Amino acid sequence: MDSNKKLGLIGRNISYSFSKKFFEDKFQKLMLKGYSYNIFDLNEINEIEGILSSPDLLGFNVTIPYKEKIIDYLDDLSDEAKKIGAVNCVLIENGKKTGYNTDAFGFEKTLLLHKKPHQDSALILGGGGAAKAVKYVLDKHGISSITVSRNSKTNFENLDHKTVKNHKIIIQCTPVGTFPNIDDCLVFPFEGISEDHLIIDLIYNPNYTQFIIKASEKGAKTVNGYYMLEQQAEKAWEIWNFQKK
């Protein structure tokens, strides 16, 4: 391995991020010298230009709110990233910047681990980059879905408990309830949730969001975003290290 390989995470207000510790532990476990993982906390996406000019940058992860905006700064996209319209992993090879979406991989593993046969339609809460990756995976597995966001036909004002009752998978893709704002919760008709439901909240910090707590009180199976996060990070590591040189 070459010395000095820089990796990192771009996002906004991301000091709480899991990624830095995850990758630094990995460098240690694999006894890799000369690797570093940095947090690039950007107020605006155009600040990325300074980071991209760094000579030893091998790649980086992308999180809220830049998964869609980063695309304008890249040279190429993987097929999945193209279809999804969002990127959470970038590889830089010989100056060429390619965007990938490993959220889809991580979410798919989570979904298939927990989904029961009767859970065949879904509500996706949120309209950002993560929600797009979730929709891509649901479509791939023939699971019909409705996206609930501020600007969609079904939104948080008109979502009723009957719609919730009829969609047995609910994926919470908004940042509402993330540390440090752990008391926040989406306005949501929880009375539509039953023990037939699978609730996946993509948030991993805290372990139990208010959304998960309220859903589990209705008897639903609940899962947080930690496994998805680990899986997408492993996939990113693979992309950065196992490309044909």
Indicate which residues carry an active-site annotation.
67
Listed residue (146, 225, 135, 223) closest to 178, CA to CA: 225
CA atoms of 185 and 195, how far apart (whole Å):
20
CA atoms of 196 and 25, how far apart (whole Å):
38
- Helix/strand/coil (H/E/C) assignment for every residue in 167-232: CCEEEECCCCCCCCCCCCCCCCCHHHCCCCCEEEECCCCCCCCHHHHHHHCCCCEEECCHHHHHHH
